[in-house]
Amino acid sequence: MNFMEYNFRAIEQKWQTYWLENKTYKTDIRNDKPKFYVLDMFPYPSGAGLHVGHPLGYIASDIYSRFKRQQGFNVLHPMGYDAFGLPAEQYAIQTGQHPAVTTARNIARYREQLDKIGFCYDWDREIRTSEPDYYKWTQWAFIQMFNHYFDTTLQKAQPIASLVSHFETKGTEGIRAHCSEELSFTADEWKAYTEKEQQEVLLNYRIAYLADLKVNWCPALGTVLANDEVSEGLSVRGGHPVEQKVMRQWSLRVSAYANRLVSGLDTLEWTESLKETQKNWIGRSEGAEMKFFLKDSDVEIDIFTTRADTIYGVTFMVLAPESELVKVCTTAAQTEEVEAYLDWTKKRTERERQADRKVTGVFSGSYAINPVSGTEIPIWIADYVLAGYGTGAIMAVPAHDSRDYAFARHFNLPIIPLIEGCDVSEESFDAKEGILMNSGFLNGLTVKEAIQKTKEYLVEKAIGRVKVNFRLRDAIFSRQRYWGEPFPVFYKEGMPYMLDETKLPLVLPEVDKYLPTEKGEPPLGRAANWKTEEGYPLELSTMPGFAGSSAYYLRYMDPGNDKELVSRTANEYWRSVDLYIGGTEHATGHLIYSRFWNKFLFDLGLVCEEEPFRKLINQGMIQGRSNFVYRIKNSNTFVSLNLKDQYETTPIHVDVNIVHNDQLDLEQFRNWNPEYRTAEFILEDGKYICGWAVEKMSKSMYNVVNPDDIVERYGADTLRLYEMFLGPLEQSKPWDTNGIDGVHRFLKRLWSLFYRDGKSMLNDEKPTADELKILHKTIKKITTDIENFSYNTSVSAFMICVNELYSLKCNKKAILEPLVALLAPFAPHIAEELYHLLGNSGTVCDASFPKHNEEYLVESVINYPVSFNGKVRFTMSLPAALDKAEVERIALADENTQRFLNGAAIKKVIVVPGKIINIVC
C-alpha cells in the first residue's frame, strides 16, 4: 500500500489489524530473555467511558514497555478491569439493570477506546475482578487470612493451628500474637471453653476477623466504609455524610503489618512524597506507655505519650468518652453531668466534631496520682481524646501541648511550664527543644535526654514501658452491598466458618432488587437459598472495592490457572512489578492494601517477592480546560473575549469540542443547543474568541474531551505524542487541545522525509558527519529521557531531529532507519509503516533500540561565551582541543576582550573548557 500523504487513518487501521492477527503482543515465559513487568493501575469501567486524562499513564507505560522490548527484554504488559463497584450498583438500583450487564457494556466501550490508541497489551491475559474464576482467588486469599495469625516476635503470619496447640499446652502464656484485645487464660481454661467460646477467642487473633467495631457507616450508601474511603466526614464516592456506629464486621489485621509496611518503603523506588504520604498514614510514633492509678484504688489508667519528659507538668488527665474507665472514674455526684456529656458526644457525627472545634468536656469527680511526682490530678472526660488511638486516655500537659492548653484555659486548670525561658502566657510551647526545669530529677537536661531518661526510669520502677504506636487501623472488609465478592463464609451457632476451598468460587447469587431487605439486611438477604448444602446461612455482606485489586498483578502472571492464584514457575519468572504507573489517589488505599496482601502471601511462601511494586510513577492529573462565550445581558448576542468589557455580559460554558484554538465554530455553536439557533455574534477580526479557565474535567463544564475524537481527527500517534508533549508526566496540567497541530505537523514532516509528491524519497547514500551527529545526538537524548520518564523533552528532541534532517534534505536510509526504531515506542503506527517502507518485514516492535556512538558526537569547534564579571558580552569559536591555558591566552588577546575591558585591570580569569570563559575585573 502506498500513500500519497500521511494517511493516518489507513495506516493505523492497517497495523492495528496486523498486530491483532499476528498476536504481536502475546507474552510467554522466555528463559532466554530477562523479564520486565510494566503495569498500569487497571481502570474501573465507568459508564462515561475514557476521557483524554485516562490514557496519559497508559501511554507512558506503553512507551516504556515498547522501549524495554526493543532493548531485548521479555515484557509483561497486561490490562484488565476493576469491575466490581458502587456506580454499577447505584445504576442497577435506579434501572433494575443487572450490574453485570452494565459492567460488560462499559468494558466493551473501554476496550474499543483503548484499542484505538494502539497499546501493546497482551489481551490474552485480561482479567476482570467480577468474574468468578478471578474472584475465586480473592475468596481463597481471604480463607488463608482467616486461617492465620500474626506472630509479633517472628513478625510474620503463622497458621492458626499452631496458636491453638499453644493454647492447649500453655494457654496464653508466652503468646506473642497481634490481637484486638490482650487475653489471659490457662490451658485448662482453654480446654474447658465451648467450641463457640474457642472460636470467639480465635477471632481475636485471626488476620481476617469478625468483630464489633466502631465503623464509618454511610446511611446514603447503606454500607460501612474503610478509613481511606472517608474524607472529612464524607464518603469519597458521592460525598455522603458518614457517621460512627458499632457493628459486627469483617476486618483485615493490616495494623499487624504496620512495622513492615513502614520499613519496606526504604527498599522501593517510589517518590519521596508518596513514601511520606504512606508513612504519615501508617503514623508510627515512638513513645511510652505509663500507668497512673486512681486515687485510693488499684484501678490502673494507662496512657500513651511521646513526651515522657513532661511528666512533671501533668495537671490533669483526660479520658475519651468511649473509654471503659469512664464508668469507673465517675463519682456519684458527677454521674448526671457525665451522662449528659456522653449523650451529647454520641449524637455528634464525625463531621460535626471536626467542623466544630469548641472546647468541651466534663469533670469525672475522681483524681489520679502522678506515678513519678506523686501529685494528685483531676480526671476529665472530653472528646478531643480519641478512643481509637493509643489507650484512649492521656496525661495532659497544658504548658507543652496546644490542645491541653486550650482545655486548661477553658476550664481554668493549672499550667506548669517545664522548659527554661518558655512563655506560656498566650500559647503552649510545643517544640521538642530546650532545657527542662520544674522537673525533679530531669532538671537541666535537654528534652531529648529527658525523654530517654524518663523511659529508663519508667521501666526501672515498673510504672511503664517503651511503646511504638501506629495510627494505621485495621481495614474494615465488609460492605452491605450487592456488587462485590461474596464472602466464602457460613455461620454455625452465630460463629463464622470458612467454606471448603473445593467449594470456590462461591458465585454471587441473583436477587430481585439491589436494595436492603425489609429487615435491614444487605441485598444478599434477598437471594434464594443463600446457604450451604448443609443448610447453614452464608454471609450477607460482600467484600469492598479494594479486595479485587489487592493481588491482581499476581494473577496477570498466570491468568488461566484454575489450580492456584499463580504458579510457582510463573511467579518466580515474573516476580514483581518493575514499573507501576498510576494516580496518587491510591496512595493510602490500594497501595497499602496491596502491599499488605502481598506480604501476607509472601509469609505463606506463595510469592517470592515481599514488595509488589518496585518502581512507581504517579502520572499527574489531567484537569479540564473550559471555554466560555459571553452573552450580552437580556439578549441572544455573544461578544468575543477581547470586546466583552464594553458590554454587560454573562459568561457561559461552551463545549470545548466546538472550539478550536479558542476560536468558536459559529455554525456548530448554533446547532449545539436550540436556544442558540438564532444567536448573533460580535466578532473581533472576523473571529469569535472564547475565554478559558482550568476546572475539573466534567460533563457539566462541557470540557470533557474524548480520545476517540482526537484519534479520529489527528490519529492515535498524534494523540500519544501530544499527551506526552503536554508537560512532565508527574505534573498535573490542564488538557488543552491548542498545540496539537504542532505534533501533527511534526509527523507529517517526518513522513515527507520518506515520501513526497507520490514517490519515495529514500536513497542509499552514505551519511555525512553532520547527519550522523544529528542522529546520534537524538539517540542519546531519547534513551536518557525514556529512562527518566522525561517524555515531553523526548518529543521535542524528535522535532529538532526531523527539522534538522529536513533542512539538510536528508532522505538517507542509513539515518532514517534508526530514527524509525527510535520513534517506534512513541508513535508505533507510523513507525511500523515506515519500517516496512524501508524494506523490513516482521514488526518494528522487535527492531532493536539504537545505541548512540559517542564518536559521532565529538565537537571540533566550541563556541565559547566570553563574560565579564558573569555578564556575557560576546562569543568566540575555538578548536575544542585547546587546553585551559591556551583558551585563556587567546581570549585575553582578542580585540573584543580589550574593548570590553576598556583599560580595567584583570583580577582573575575562569576558563571552564568546553563551557565558558569568565573574566573578573
Residue in the structure block whose three cell numbers are 502566657: 425
Phi, psi of 752 (to 5 degrees): -70, -15
Which cell is 418 given?
A: 517545664
Residue 58 to residues 114, 582, 650, 664, 720, Cα–Cα distance (Å): 9, 8, 39, 31, 10
Comparing CA positions, the residue from 136, 141, 110, 118 lying closest to residue 47 is 110
Q: From the centroid of its chain, how far is CA 725?
A: 23
CA distance linking residue 713 with residue 702, whole number of Å: 19
CB atoms within 10 A of CB 759: 9
Q: Which residues contact 721 (CB under 8 A, 6 or more apart)?
A: 743, 746, 747, 795, 826, 827
Torsion over CA: 711, 713, 717, 721 (sign):
negative
Phi, psi of 734 (to 5 degrees): -75, 145
Nearest approach in angstroms of CB 416 to RNA is: 15
Query: To which H or E segment does residue 490 belong?
Result: strand 489-492
Number of helical H runs and strand E runs in the chain: 29, 35
Which cell is 408 given?
A: 486548661
Which cell is 109 given?
A: 466501550
Query: To which H or E segment does residue 651 belong?
Result: strand 649-654
| CB nearer RNA, residue 515 or residue 621 | 621
What's the DSSP call for residue 235?
E
Residue in the structure block whose three cell numbers are 479520658: 319
The β-bridge relationship of strands 733-734 and 622-632 is parallel
Comparing CA positions, the residue from 812, 835, 840 lying closest to residue 824 is 835
Cβ-based burial of 155 (10 A; exposed 0-12, middle 13-18, buried ≥19): middle
| CB nearer RNA, residue 117 or residue 753 | 753
Amino acid code (one letter) for 162: S
Q: Which residues contact 366 (CB under 8 A, 6 or more apart)?
A: 294, 295, 329, 330, 331, 378, 379
Which cell is 720 given?
A: 500519544
CA distance linking residue 361 with residue 345, whole number of Å: 10
Residues forming beta bridges with residue 151, ordered by sequence position: 156, 177
Nearest approach in angstroms of CB 316 to RNA is: 13
Q: From the centroid of its chain, how far is CA 656?
A: 29
Nearest approach in angstroms of CB 486 to RNA is: 29
Nearest approach in angstroms of CB 606 to RNA is: 30
What's the DSSP call for residue 665?
-
| CB nearer RNA, residue 566 or residue 823 | 823
| CB nearer RNA, residue 65 or residue 794 | 794
Comparing CA positions, the residue from 178, 56, 41, 171 lying closest to residue 117 is 56
Amino acid code (one letter) for 482: Y
Residue in the structure block whose three cell numbers are 483503548: 114
Residues forming beta bridges with residue 916, ordered by sequence position: 912
| CB nearer RNA, residue 101 or residue 912 | 912
Nearest approach in angstroms of CB 916 to RNA is: 4
Q: Decide if 264 contacts 224 (C-beta within 8 A).
A: no
**DSSP string covering 261-310:** HHHGGGGSB--HHHHHHHHHHHT-EEEEEEEEEETTS--EEEEEES-GGG
Residue in the structure block whose three cell numbers are 465451648: 194
Which cell is 196 given?
A: 463457640
Q: Which residues contact 380 (CB under 8 A, 6 or more apart)?
A: 316, 317, 318, 319, 361, 362, 363, 364, 396, 407, 411
CA distance linking residue 555 with residue 82, whole number of Å: 13
| CB nearer RNA, residue 689 or residue 844 | 689
CA distance linking residue 799 with residue 911, whole number of Å: 33
CA distance linking residue 485 with residue 82, whole number of Å: 12
State the number of CA atoms in the 13 A half-sphere of 140 facing the CB.
20
Comparing CA positions, the residue from 734, 582, 594 lying closest to residue 274 is 582
